[in-house]
Amino acid sequence: MIRSSIFAIAVLLGLTGCEKAEPVTYTIPKEERSVAMPGPAAEQNVPAAGDSQMRVLPGMEEAAQAAPELSYQVPDAWEEFPPQSVRKANFRVSDENGSAEIAVTVFPGDVGGQLANINRWRGQIGLDPIDAKSMPQVTRPYSISNHSGILIDLQGAEQSILGGLLSFHGSTWFFKMQGATGTVASQAEAMEAFLSSVQIEDDHH
């Protein structure tokens, strides 16, 4: 009887030992994932997306896409690129002085107001901010798409900005040329002609 019990325990231990999990090592191939990434803007020969100094926040692109369409006449020397990101229109011009980019963007609301946006642009070309009393020194009234806007002229040592700003039925439109000071100066007449040609779809009238 005792011998049978010993034999049963030995069998049980033997079975338990056979079922004991042994460590197993697997070699899993490293996952390879290929994601197409756009190259730098320069490689695509397309101006960078959006305001070169503006973060594209969530909702900005959707707001730009939902904004009314616009028509315009492109000055002869300007090269036009397809709309991109928050830009409704996209251009570049080059001459012996350098180059400049022209972008048209639109955002809901007043985006901080005229003075805040002028000072933001001033900071982008190394100029100090101004106060409200100094605004007439760098702006003048300008009609864009049959609405009252302003023309902004900011001259820096190396970079300058010439642009238009328009409040339009609850949104603010920005027409901005930024580039080499000599290029921007030489394109002043073309920029005004462009602004005068702009027509924004307007279903409020």
Is residue 56 pLDDT above 70, yes or no?
A: no
Q: What is the pLDDT of residues 35-53, one digit of tens each?
A: 333 333 333 344 443 455 5
The β-bridge partners of 175 are: 104, 164
Residues 6+ apart with CB under 8 A from 148: 141, 167
Lowest-pLDDT range of 50-59, 98-107, 135-144, 190-199: 50-59
- Residue where the block lists tokens 């901005």: 176
Secondary structure in 3-state letters for 108-154: ECCCCCHHHHHHHHHHHCCCCCCCHHHHHHCEEEEEECCEEEEEEEE
The residue with greater pLDDT, 156 or 22, is: 156
pLDDT at 42: 35
Is residue 205 pLDDT above 80, yes or no?
A: no
Global pTM reads 0.73
